Amino acid sequence: MAKGHRSQIKRERNENQRETRPHAKLSYARVSVQKACFVLDAIRGKDVKTALGILAYNPRYASTLIEKLLKSAIANAENNNGMDPENLYVAACYANKGPTMKRIRPRAQGRAYRIEKRMSHITIVLDER
């Protein structure tokens, strides 16, 4: 049996499993997971300079959000982990489903259709080559 309080045991276990690579997360982004993944698939595995170039000229709305998030992850790597931005690449990037806002759209003959405004949680993980 492990010694210590349950919260202390959990804290020690979580310290061992903590992500050491620099990352940034955007929660409750007002873009659907499917639309965000189109942009994320384009930058996955690329080096940071190339990924920023792709995002700068991508016409999709999600690319502006992801560009800002990537710059934040680069700053985290530089300031918190002391990494060189020249050697960084996008190790992992994914979008998870967030809550959905439900709205009503009036239709013919008194009917109402539902509009679902989807949100996502976008995460970018960087690593050094």
Where residue 116 sits, what CATH number does that domain have?
A: 3.90.470.10
Residue 2, domain member (yes or no): no
Identify the domain containing residue 67 by its residue range.
21-128
Residue 6, domain member (yes or no): no
b/e map 12-32, b = 16+ CB within 10 Å? eeeeeeeeebbbbebeebebb
What confidence score (pLDDT) does residue 3 get? 73
- Using alpha carbons, list the distances in angstroms from residue 2 to 10, 17, 109: 11, 18, 66
What confidence score (pLDDT) does residue 1 get? 53
Residue 38, domain member (yes or no): yes
Digitized pLDDT (tens) for each residue of the chain, 129 residues in all:
567 788 888 888 888 877 788 999 999 999 999 999 999 999 999 999 999 999 999 999 999 999 999 999 999 999 988 899 999 999 999 999 999 999 999 999 999 999 999 999 999 999 998
Number of domains in the chain: 1
